[in-house]
Structure 1
């Protein structure tokens, strides 16, 4: 990513709970409606959980590393799976 990136994370309310989007200059680059890396299709239970994971993805992007979330990341953030 370029240094002039303007990344932001926002929560989104969906039918089954919460998700998040990450934007770069108002352009959506990641939209996550379900909890990543778990086998079932399940949304985040709370806005806080969605934002916690979204912020972690944002930090990874800003550090120029892969934005992939692991099961361990979810456990460390105490996300209900």
Structure 2
């Protein structure tokens, strides 16, 4: 329960922080991990999200390829630019055809 509250607070702070800044300063990059691919989202040059595993699934597994990582990263980026929570759901992964 405490972890959920901390996570919600951090996500709220992140959305607030991003909404106060120019949205054109956000960028997305893929990253190679030991077991696959991930992505980072930067505000100017500062990393604000580093996602090295597929979110929402039980296993700690990286994306199988760069394209999958960038698909999810682009969705997170769009959510931030629209002042929405950057949370990814299982439904999002299904709609993006991400192999879990």
* SS at 2:62 equivalent: coil
Matches within 5 A, 1:59-78: 59-78=78-97
Q: Secondary structure at the match of 2:48?
A: strand
Under a length normalisation based on structure 2, what TM-score does the superposition of the two structures give? 0.79
Give 1:41-60 correspondences, 5 Å limit.
41-60=60-79
The structure 1 segments of at least 4 consecutive aligned residues displaced by more than 3 Å after TM superposition are none
Paired positions, count: 81
- 1:8-47 superposed matches below 5 A: 8-47=27-66
Q: Which protein is bigger by CA-based radius of gyration?
A: 2
Instruction: Report the structure, 1 or 2, having the larger strand content.
Output: 1
SS at match of 1:75: helix
Stretches of structure 2 lacking an aligned partner (at least 5 in a row)? 1-18
Question: 22, 36, 56: which one pairs with 1:4?
Answer: 22
TM-score, normalised via structure 1 length: 0.97
Q: Which has the higher helix share?
A: 2
Q: Name the CA distance, whole Å, in 2 between partners of 1:70 and 1:12.
A: 21
**How far apart are the structure 1 equivalents of 2:85 and 2:21?**
16
